[in-house]
Amino acid sequence: MTRIDFYILAEGGADAHERLACRLVEKAYTLGHRVFVHAASEDQARRLDDLLWTFRAGSFVPHALAGAGDDDTVPVHIGHQAPENPGAEVLVNLSDSVPEGFTRFERVAEVVPPVEPQRTQARERYRFYRERGYPLHTHQL
């Protein structure tokens, strides 16, 4: 059964949740996992594509935008459409809804920004997962 982790930011700037997503992606990548990042929009997907190169000095996370050839050798894909499973074990969700097909992943990381209405939407996703019996873990950051 898919494990769901909620990463809840207590504070931060406008891009704090995107930076957190980059840290989560980096950690999953260094542990040998393949990752799909589900962005809220095409613009956010492009920002994350750029941010993964610059969010931390010395970091290297090979990645590509979904649909840009979908090279199976790339361990991290970023997209804003319903995630396909290019062999990824981890789904990082930055959208406001439960991603279609999330059950194909071993783990889902829900990144929750410190602002409304995203907090309310995250609570709705939490309820959705809880009502269906998924193992939930919350991390207050």
Three-state SS sequence of 95-139: CCCCCCCHHHCCEEEEEECCCCCHHHHHHHHHHHHHHCCCCEEEE
pLDDT at position 69 = 59
Tell me the pLDDT tens digit for each residue of 35-45.
999 999 999 99
Tell me the pLDDT tens digit for each residue of 100-135.
999 999 999 999 998 888 999 999 999 999 999 999
pLDDT at position 61 = 92
**Residues 108, 5 contacting (CB under 8 angstroms):** yes
Domain count for the chain, please give it: 1
Residue whose structure tokens are 């019996």: 133
Q: Which amino acid is at 16?
A: A
Q: What is the domain-level CATH number for residue 62?
A: 3.40.50.10110
Tell me the pLDDT tens digit for each residue of 59-98.
889 999 987 655 678 999 999 998 766 688 999 999 999 9
pLDDT at position 12 = 79
Tokens of 11: 């504070």
pLDDT at position 44 = 96
pLDDT at position 70 = 56
pLDDT at position 85 = 62
Q: Which domain holds residue 93?
A: 3-140
**Residues 12, 114 contacting (CB under 8 angstroms):** yes
